[in-house]
Structure 1
Amino acid sequence: MTSTGTVLDDIIAGVREDMAERRSRVSDAALKRLAAQVAPALDARAAIAGDGATMGLIAEVKRASPSKGELAEITDPAELAAVYAAAGAGAVSVLTEGRRFRGSLADLDAVRRRVEIPVLRKDFVVDPYQVHEARAHGADLVLLIVAALDDDALRSLYELIGELGMQALVETHTPQELERALDLGAGIIGVNARDLKTLDVDLERAATLLGQIPAGPLAIGESAVAGREDVVAYAEAGADAVLVGEALVTGADPAGAARSFRTVPRRPRGPLAPSTTTKGSDA
């Protein structure tokens, strides 16, 4: 895989090393058997979209980040996820990358056992092993970062996610990446306000990109949310939902913040295309 010239390169190198260690303990064949034994994936897209009147929310369990370092000492990710669900989140995002974000698959397991809403495995997915791993640990939604993948890898991973009954949140940062996501036929497209080279966030740039997403895909605004006014800005740009971690885990009242974000009116961008999930959503 070619270099991206961004922070992704070092992160993905570490991800591959850690994956190799897990693979030495659990083979591809064993992992596939485990994945086949879990309950069918939930329809994350429908859960996040909600009734369409107000902004959807993917609330994140996030301890740290490369840009900010330590954020929160989350000793009970399952309890935090339950708070998010009770506050109206449509899905819970769980970081499973350990080196930079201090996440783990154990966090994913704990959250999956606790909540009945869809769960996103948020990691730097570059190999089919990670997709089977996500399913084996109960994920319903898997993050694919367009910048980290060439066209062949992006499509093959996207198709595998669908074959396993899950859905993909396809994350973009630039117009070129958005075009690739649209060419893929992605049903859930994220626009991340963070610049991968500088790690700075620019909500205005993200808003411009969101405005280029046609009716059909579910559009998710990512990063740059410090308060309700930023969720309003994303809504005005055409986002259907936001993915928020830092503002929730560092605030004194994550439940109150989540409820506040959920009350922001959504500006219709056009009719959403039907969900393509083939598995039952009541599993």
Structure 2
Amino acid sequence: MNMRYSLSSTSALLAAVSWTCFSASFAFVPSTVASTVTTSFISVRPCTPHTVSSSTSLCAVGALVKKAKEQELRKYIESGVEEHVMEKYNLLKENLATINDETLADQVVGPLQESLTRRKGTITVIAEYKRKCGFNPTGLIHEMHVPELLSPSFREYGASAIAVMADPRMGGCDYDDIRHFVEEQRRAKMEVPGPLPVINNDLIVDELQVARSAAYGCAALVLNLPTLGVEQTKVLLKATKAVDLESIVAVSSKEEAQTAIDSGARMLSILHLGTVEDMVAAVDGLVIPEGQQVCKIANILANNDQQLQEIEDAWSVRDQGFNSIWVGEALYKGGADPNEQPGGIIKSMKSKSSLKFASPKAARGRGEGAREYLGDILM
């Protein structure tokens, strides 16, 4: 059992975390919001890829989410930070001295980026786990979709990575869910297919969360550039590298994508864009430093219907040159339907079919591509 530091032992950490993010938060929180903030750990992503429409006020949502995350992080520190997390945090602080802008500018492709980047004409899948879902009247995914069952299923059906939305309010998950996925994947070390990397999709706003992600066995985490701002994104990119984690930087425009690359990001997640055309436009013509590689990840939004248009969206972004897709709620639309269970949807998205050859009739089980839609692919 992991020992925890007492409240008195973590008071200095609490002060350090508060001060580290104090100035950064005011750089991108509107003055009307900043005046109401008493403690600025943090600024966080205004929303997740599947929770806010383009008409939503992102600033307003960002302020609310920031406040909730601020309180959550403070409670975590005051309750006593686990010893193995503190060890990672101390290591992070020690290693930060060796990491500068030049380090971020000249990077070697990491294991996760390599696993997400395959030959042209193929697509890899990041399968996201979250308990909260907008397609079920209860607001939760089907009860059969638990980490113990989904973790081996994601691996068996060809996902390249697993993401966990470890935010109780937004995704209904926490760091124990990360631990369950990491431990189950590690047990597959001598199997084929082997273990999948686990990505933390918590609202990362502070170095302590980076250390906690590493301590719980994550391979990478997500940073949201629009909310963090450029300078704080750079700080957290360096912190992530200090504990040998990889970073996926979330952006929602071409300008942000280029800024992320210039800041040292080598994996981009394109979100908050509702159409394939918009996602393609956000990565078209990006200037990539010589000798560097950038992995482009498209977030596949879940449609508000019972069809599986998301599979065609996956084929389309693949045809347009994306390396990987991030799939969340779309995996759980089918509930307990055996033909539309998460593994089958993953396999369908990775199939050899293309919009150039498959008809939309396939969604109804007819015509070219129907087998792929039903997840019944014989290779």
In the alignment, residue 243 of structure 1 is paired with which amino acid? W
Q: Which has the higher contact order (CA 8 A, sep 6+)?
A: 1
Query: What's the offset of the Cα at 1:145?
Result: 0.5
Alignment match of 1:98 (pick from 168, 181, 199):
168
Which residues in structure 2 correspond to 1:1-283 (within 5 Å)? 1=25, 2-3=28-29, 5-27=59-81, 31-33=85-87, 43-64=111-132, 70-74=139-143, 76-115=146-185, 116-192=195-271, 194=272, 201-213=274-286, 216-224=293-301, 226-251=309-334, 252-264=340-352
Q: Deviations over 1:139-173 (max 9, x none)?
A: 10100010111222100100111111110011100
Name the CA shift for 1:150/1:227 in 2 (closer, same or farther; >3 Å): closer
Name the CA shift for 1:124/1:212 in 2 (closer, same or farther; >3 Å): farther
Percentage identity across paired residues of the two chains: 19
Name the CA shift for 1:111/1:35 in 2 (closer, same or farther; >3 Å): farther
Query: What's the offset of the Cα at 1:210?
Result: 2.6
Please give the alpha-carbon distance, in whole angstroms, between the structure 2 residues aligned to 1:56 and 1:17. Answer: 36
Query: What's the offset of the Cα at 1:6?
Result: 4.8
Query: What's the offset of the Cα at 1:185?
Result: 2.4
Name the CA shift for 1:8/1:264 in 2 (closer, same or farther; >3 Å): farther
Query: What secondary structure is seen at the aligned counterpart in 2 of 1:10?
Result: helix
Structure 1: gaps (5+ residues): 196-200, 267-283
Conservation of the 8 A alpha-carbon contact between 1:66 and 1:101? no
The answer to which of 143-152 and 201-210 deviates more is 201-210
Query: What's the offset of the Cα at 1:34?
Result: 5.5
Name the CA shift for 1:6/1:14 in 2 (closer, same or farther; >3 Å): same
Aligned match of 1:280: none
Q: Deviations over 1:29-80 (max 9, x none)?
A: 762315799xxxx821112224555101101112226899925145622321
TM-score under structure 1 normalisation? 0.81
Query: What secondary structure is seen at the aligned counterpart in 2 of 1:186?
Result: coil
Name the CA shift for 1:211/1:65 in 2 (closer, same or farther; >3 Å): farther
Conservation of the 8 A alpha-carbon contact between 2:125 and 2:324? yes
Please give the alpha-carbon distance, in whole angstroms, between the structure 2 residues aligned to 1:254 and 1:67. Answer: 14
Name the CA shift for 1:6/1:233 in 2 (closer, same or farther; >3 Å): farther
The answer to which of 27-36 and 15-24 deviates more is 27-36
Name the CA shift for 1:52/1:112 in 2 (closer, same or farther; >3 Å): farther
Query: What secondary structure is seen at the aligned counterpart in 1 of 2:247?
Result: strand
Query: What's the offset of the Cα at 1:124?
Result: 1.3
Query: What's the offset of the Cα at 1:85?
Result: 1.0
Query: What secondary structure is seen at the aligned counterpart in 2 of 1:227?
Result: helix
Query: What's the offset of the Cα at 1:17?
Result: 1.1
Please give the alpha-carbon distance, in whole angstroms, between the structure 1 residues aligned to 2:135 and 2:263. Answer: 29
Name the CA shift for 1:82/1:126 in 2 (closer, same or farther; >3 Å): same
Name the CA shift for 1:61/1:253 in 2 (closer, same or farther; >3 Å): same
**Structure index of larger Rg:** 2
Q: Deviations over 1:228-279 (max 9, x none)?
A: 210022113321010001111222321111011122579xxxxxxxxxxxxx
Query: What secondary structure is seen at the aligned counterpart in 2 of 1:124?
Result: coil
C-alpha RMSD of the superposition: 2.7
TM-score under structure 2 normalisation? 0.62
Structure 2: gaps (5+ residues): 1-24, 30-57, 92-109, 186-194, 303-308, 335-339, 355-379
Conservation of the 8 A alpha-carbon contact between 1:44 and 1:167? yes
Please give the alpha-carbon distance, in whole angstroms, between the structure 2 residues aligned to 1:122 and 1:28. Answer: 20
